[in-house]
Structure 1
Amino acid sequence: MHAANDDVYRPSDRDLLKGAIRQLAAQTGIAVIFAGLVNHGELVITEFVGTTTQGLKNLNVQPGEGVGGRALHQSRPVGVADYFDSHRITHHHDQAVRIDGLRTMVALPVLVDGRGRSILYAATRDRTSFGERTVGELNAGGERIARELQIRDEVDHRVAILKVVGSLAAEPLDRDLIEVVRLAHAELLSVASITSDPDLSARILAVTARLVGSASAPADVPHLTPRETDVLAQVALGCSYEEVGNRLALQAVTVKGYMQAIMAKLNAHSRTEAVRIARAFRLLP
């Protein structure tokens, strides 16, 4: 069993926002969409579609300030029909908003585990209102960002665990540490299968491959597909077919089909035997 030697470098969260707002702009036709990440409780607006000036670039917004700061403070969407006439918000950033000629604005907080991680804005240069469909698309976009951030956080957490285990690699691993590695391996495979970022998925799979190791693998190792390995890793944790399906976004009957194929390849007569054989072949840690 090998612990992870290298970092899984977290992809840029700013690039995630940039791609998300571009997609939303194409879907909704909204004139201006922008966003920023929240760090240490402070929002910094960095990503834009449709702006014509640099007025909002790298603007720092504290909780409670303007539309976005209020959305961050209250952890709920906040909208105004006319930014400058609104008495519902503070006017700390009027000059930055005025430079780009924005009027109607809505800000949606992107929440991960109840904590604001980003603010997503939509705006127009005339006084109008956003329709229900448009608001629904904006909410869906915010949810996609939140899911991806949550996945990235989980990867960071699991890799941090593996680094601790790796630091103990010079000593014989006790049973508890082995179980930690096996759990982290299965969880990383799970998030690799559901992330929408192919680069992150590839990096996660590189770490899981090092966890298993191949230097001492026996000859004539049966070949499992990546999806079969995903399924077997979850089964090895004691998950039912339904639980595996929930983790990997599969139907329980599909999971059962994968397991039947796995047992045939490994010449196993039960799930437990399949796991044991797979570990002997270094297909699982």
Structure 2
Amino acid sequence: MGDDAGAVRSAVLSLHRTTGLPVVFGGALAGQERLRITEMVGNTTDSLSGLVVRQGSGLGGKAMALGRPVWVSDYPHAATISHDYDAPVSREGLLSVVAVPVVVRRRVRGVLYGALREPLSLADRVIATAVETVRDLEQDLAVRDEADEALARLQHPGAGGGDPSGAASAARWEEVRAVHAELRGLAEQVADPEVKARLLQASTRLAIANQDDDGMEGRPVRCDVPPPGPALSPREVDVLSYVAIGCTNAEAAQRLGLLPETVKSYLRSAMRKLGSHTRLEAVTAARRAGLLP
């Protein structure tokens, strides 16, 4: 779904917009226990651009080591951090700085910073907003990781050979359908619109893959036009995708973060649009229309 740097870039822009801090910057991990600052807004020099921050060193390094936000109101004279990076920080004129680590699955993936050029204490609101922005970034990265893992499963089909229409092929398609449902569920959890669009695009490719005689290993599948058939809403397709892999309404609701009654309503609506009377008929009709794999 893309690298961490792109997600950090979006988060830096969001933090700058929501807090009004004059300087916001950050970077993703660039090796073991070190990160590289690549994204900056409001800077007047290039002193911090490309700077490699080691875990435990400076403010950002301390945030990495502790796994929690840290801040100072007078960076050059702060006694709670090491001063390995005083020169580039001084050239940019930063005094009050907050650093918030990006932690996904207990692993630091980057750090976001916000700063003032005055020795003032950062308001609680600013700190809270910085933390909230990082939490959104962590969620996006976690969802993207899950999507990458789901798609990777399709690259390693189970062992089997012989007749491609046999048990191995059937198991392969069950995995395709499970991944399709997973991608649609994950798309509803991600805040980044670009990542969400890519997740939905990937699910669309899987949905219309069965229109290709060769299945997943056949010709490239077009995804620049919507599949033909009834115009189901995204949520109706989400619900049907879980119904298609055998989920009950309650199980689909849990995976999609909806109430069972809401799932039931979406399912009824989808069945009506598809001219179906049962769940199985609805799934079959959706597959024929290229809405499900």
* TM-score (norm: length of structure 2): 0.82
User: Does the 8 Å CA contact 2:64/2:111 hold for their aligned counterparts?
Assistant: yes
Kindly state the Cα deviation for residue 175 of structure 1 after the two structures are TM-superposed.
4.3
> Contact 1:45–1:59 at 8 Å: present in 2 too?
yes
Report the CA distance shift for 1:12/1:211 in structure 2 as closer, same or farther (over 3 A). same
Instruction: Give the conservation status (yes or no) of the 8 Å contact 1:194–1:249.
Output: no
The residue type paired with residue 245 of structure 2 is L
**Partner residue of 1:38?**
29
Q: Residue type of the partner of 1:54?
A: D
The C-alpha deviation readout for 1:104-141, integer Å capped at 9, x for no partner, is 21111111112111101111112111121111111111
Greater relative contact order (Cα < 8 A, sep 6+): 1
**1:9-34 per-position Cα deviation (integer Å, ceiling 9, x unaligned):** x3453333223222222221212111
Change (3 A) 1:86 1:221: closer
Q: Verify: 1:264 aligned to 2:264, yes or no.
A: no
1:236 aligned partner: 244
C-alpha separation between the residues in 1 aligned to 2:159 and 2:288? 24
Distance 1:268 1:150 in 2: 37
What's the CA shift for 1:53? 0.9
8 Å Cα contact 2:98/2:127 also seen in 1: no
1:31-52 deviations in Å (ceiling 9; x for gaps): 2111100133321111111221
Superposed, which structure 2 residues align to 1:148-227 within 5 Å?
A: 148-165=140-157, 171-172=164-165, 173-212=168-207, 213=209, 214-215=211-212, 222-227=230-235
| Structural mapping, 1:1-285, within 5 Å | 10-41=1-32, 42-165=34-157, 171-172=164-165, 173-212=168-207, 213=209, 214-215=211-212, 222-279=230-287, 283-285=291-293
Give the Cα separation in 2 of the matches to 1:85 and 1:45.
22
User: TM-score when scaled to structure 1?
Assistant: 0.84
* Amino acid in structure 2 at the alignment position of 1:259: L
- Counterpart secondary structure, 1:149: helix
Distance 2:142 2:276 in 1: 36
Gaps (5+ residues) in structure 1?
A: 1-9
Cα displacement (A) at 1:188: 1.1
Q: Aligned equivalents of 2:117 and 2:231: distance in 1?
A: 58
Question: How many Å apart are 1:242 and its aligned residue?
Answer: 4.4
Shift of 1:248: 3.2
Which amino acid in the other structure matches residue 139 of structure 2?
R
Change (3 A) 1:266 1:52: same
Q: Which consecutive segments of 4 or more residues in structure 1 shift more than 6 A? A: 166-170
> SS at the partner of 1:126?
coil
Asked if 2 retains the 8 angstrom alpha-carbon contact of 1:44 and 1:61, the reply is yes
Conserved 8 A contact 2:73-2:122: no
Deviates more, 1:59-68 or 1:120-129: 120-129
1:143-167: CA deviations, max 9, x gaps? Answer: 1111111122122111111122399
| CA RMSD after TM alignment | 2.7
1:157-183 CA distance string (max 9 Å, x none): 111111223998994434443332221
Where 2:188 maps in the other structure, the secondary structure is helix
Contact 1:165 1:181 in 2 (8 A): no
The one-letter amino acid of 1:19's match is S
Tell me, which stretches of 5 or more residues in structure 2 are unaligned? 214-227
Deviates more, 1:133-142 or 1:32-41: 32-41
Distance 2:254 2:112 in 1: 29
| Code of the aligned partner of 2:61 | G
Q: Is the 8 A contact 1:110 1:119 kept in 2?
A: yes
User: What is the rounded CA distance, in whole Å, between the counterparts of 1:51 and 1:202 in structure 2?
Assistant: 31
Identity of matched residues, %: 38
Rounded to whole Å, the distance in 2 between the matches of 1:120 and 1:157 is 26
Aligned length: 273
Q: For the structure 1 residues 188 and 31, does the alpha-carbon distance in structure 2 shift closer, same or farther, using more than 3 Å as the test?
A: same
